[in-house]
């Protein structure tokens, strides 16, 4: 999914006529506001919209193939190259065609000596706007996730008890597990509640300093874990509070997750 979706459309519907006006005053020393000026501005604005749609199409295709989130200079260079190439080819062809229709002669040489470079600069500016918008929206999305996580940390998770919805505070949750396609919450009294969320989604929102995804089936609160030890092949076995059959007394952690768990478990709990 393209992160900016249709938010760019309103921006460029307004921005392109402004870019054309600025371009006029940069290119021409004496601008006369007559009917010819406004007709030319209209034609150039329509051409600008079509150029923008081509650039937008190229960016969308590249984003689907290789998201800019995984930033590399090669990815950035390819976007700048292909948007400039496609945009400039269209501008040249459209300008030559319009000039042939209106004046029956080739485009003046100064178009290729000056104007084409101004168009290239504006295409780079359009790319800059898209890149800035992209990372701004990612930042806003991350900020919202943090706020949502803080809300969960403060208010807990809502569960349904009969006809009522009740929130269970994070420190009153022993953990979560999945069974037969359903996700369950276990509270401090070892009561279970069905929750409408997968462990994957829970893992993104619960406070990571309190909870750890030990395997595909369990997410445990650190207070549910008494100790751990290293076993063969650099795996770990963790020992849980044996007050309920909901948690196995021993849960094994793969060697890939073992270093992250060891670091998480040994963090100073006073800082939580």
Q: How far is CA 265 from the centre of its chain?
A: 30
Cα separation, 191 vs 261, in Å, equals: 26
Fold annotation for 157-271? OB fold (Dihydrolipoamide Acetyltransferase, E2P) (2.40.50)
pLDDT at 150: 54
Predicted TM-score of the model (pTM): 0.52
> Which residues are paired to 228 by β-bridges?
238
Q: Which residues belong to CATH 2.40.50.1020 in the chain? A: 157-271
Task: Give 184-222 pLDDT, tens digit per residue.
Answer: 999 888 888 988 888 988 888 888 888 999 998 999 998
User: What is the pLDDT confidence band of residue 270, given thresholds at 50, 70 and 90?
Assistant: very low
Q: Which two tokens stand for residue 45?
A: 């604005």
Cα separation, 82 vs 123, in Å, equals: 11
Task: Give 47-93 pLDDT, tens digit per residue.
Answer: 999 999 999 999 999 888 888 777 788 989 999 999 999 999 999 99
pLDDT at 39: 85
Task: Indicate if the pLDDT at residue 269 is higher than 80.
Answer: no
What DSSP character marks residue 108?
P
Cα separation, 9 vs 13, in Å, equals: 6
Task: Give 141-173 pLDDT, tens digit per residue.
Answer: 776 666 555 554 546 788 888 778 888 888 889
């Amino acid at each position: 999914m393209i992160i900016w979706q249709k938010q760019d459309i309103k921006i460029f519907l307004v921005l392109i006529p402004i870019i054309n006006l600025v371009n006029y005053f940069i290119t021409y020393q004496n601008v006369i506001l007559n009917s010819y000026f406004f007709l030319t501005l209209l034609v150039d604005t329509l051409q600008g919209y079509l150029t923008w749609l081509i650039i937008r199409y190229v960016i969308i295709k590249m984003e689907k193939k290789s998201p800019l989130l995984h930033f590399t200079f090669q990815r950035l260079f390819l976007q700048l190259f292909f948007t400039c190439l496609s945009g400039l080819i269209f501008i040249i062809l459209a300008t030559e065609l319009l000039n042939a229709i209106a004046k029956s002669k080739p485009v003046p040489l100064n178009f290729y000596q000056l104007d084409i470079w101004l168009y290239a600069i504006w295409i780079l500016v359009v790319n800059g706007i898209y890149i800035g918008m992209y990372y701004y929206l990612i930042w806003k999305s991350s900020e919202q996730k943090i706020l949502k996580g803080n809300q969960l940390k403060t208010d807990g998770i809502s569960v349904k008890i009969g006809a009522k919805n009740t929130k269970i505070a994070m420190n009153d949750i022993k953990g979560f597990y999945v069974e037969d396609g359903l996700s369950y919450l276990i509270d401090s009294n070892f009561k279970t509640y069905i929750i409408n969320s997968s462990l994957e989604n829970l893992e993104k929102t619960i406070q990571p300093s309190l909870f750890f995804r030990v395997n595909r089936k369990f997410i445990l609160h650190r207070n549910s874990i008494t100790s751990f030890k290293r076993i063969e092949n650099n795996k770990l076995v963790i020992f849980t509070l044996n007050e309920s059959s909901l948690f196995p007394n021993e849960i094994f952690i793969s060697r890939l997750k073992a270093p992250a768990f060891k670091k998480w478990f040994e963090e100073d709990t006073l800082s939580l």
